[in-house]
Amino acid sequence: MRVFRAEHMLKIEYREDRAGLYEIFSAAVTEIIVKKQSAGGKTVIGLSGGSTPALFYKNLAENAGQSKHSAIRWDNVSFFLGDERHAAPDSAESNFGNAVETLCSGSAIPKESVRPLVIDKNVPKLISADYEKKILSATGGSGAFDLVILGMGADGHTASLFAGTLRGACDLNPKGFRKIKNIAPGSFFISHYVPEKGAVRYTLTPEAILTAEKIIMLVTGSEKASALRAAVTPETRLTEIPAAFVFQAFKNGTRPLTLITDIRL
């Protein structure tokens, strides 16, 4: 199997030990925050929803209170949701609620650091447009996150970008962004109906993801092995494995990507 190599800015952190993976993740995130704050800036991070990232977030929350990280100003870190369901913040379905619970409960990370969508309107497009404005404001108008954290489902989706979302995707343009028929160029956060789920989902766009300074993708569990091996294979079609767009973009060396996984490739 051909896999994108290190010269394409892909770093693979493989461990069979999940606890070791959690520590690698926390170290990578805190390093990014420390570097940004040392330069006098605020850190803007995009969070993945799902059960896999939640376990990593719990480890980050535990690390946040350690003395070695006492210099970090967590109130200068903004966490935005990379994907969300059309659900109230206190719903078990809410990625915001889950993020607050795993990142902020008994942690040095304040709840206010996690920015929720305002699900109080009947029009999803208005909700996503409002959230996009907040992302642009936090990033100085660029939409560029310091870090985007992604997961991947057993079906190969990432964020809330499913096979149906990427139908009609064209080749990479010179900047490395996918031109997708149902996603307007320059969009960073959208709402859309996902036939596979029979529901409205909110998500960062491929352009927003690929504009980030760094991406960390978290993939654990044997049930995802087939999809991950397909995602890192250059010939994979996006309409089959949506997460492949991240790896295919990094073939062009646009931004560094770290894959943290317990799946041997």
Q: What is the pLDDT of residues 34-52, one digit of tens each?
A: 999 999 999 999 999 999 9
Is the pTM higher than 0.85? The answer reads yes
Q: What is the pLDDT of residue 175?
A: 46
27 Cβ contact list (under 8 Å, min separation 6):
none
Sorted by where each starts, the structural domains of the chain and their CATH numbers stand as: 6-261 (3.40.50.1360)
> Contact 46/212 with Cβ under 8 angstroms?
yes
Residue 180: predicted pLDDT: 55
Give CA angle at 41 (35, 43), nearest 5°. Answer: 70
Locate 242 and state its tokens: 């949506």
User: Quick one: what percent of the chain has pLDDT higher than 90?
Assistant: 68
pLDDT of residue 38: 94
Question: How far is residue 48's CA from residue 23's CA, in Å, rounded to a whole number?
Answer: 18
- Residue among 229, 226, 197, 217 at smallest CA distance from 261: 217
Site of tokens 């109230």 = 88
Which residue positions in the chain have pLDDT lower than 50?
A: 1, 4, 6-7, 169-178
From 253, 160, 144, 163, select the one nearest 209 (Cα to Cα): 144
In this predicted structure, what is the pLDDT of residue 166?
65
CA–CA gap between residue 206 and residue 179 (Å, rounded): 9
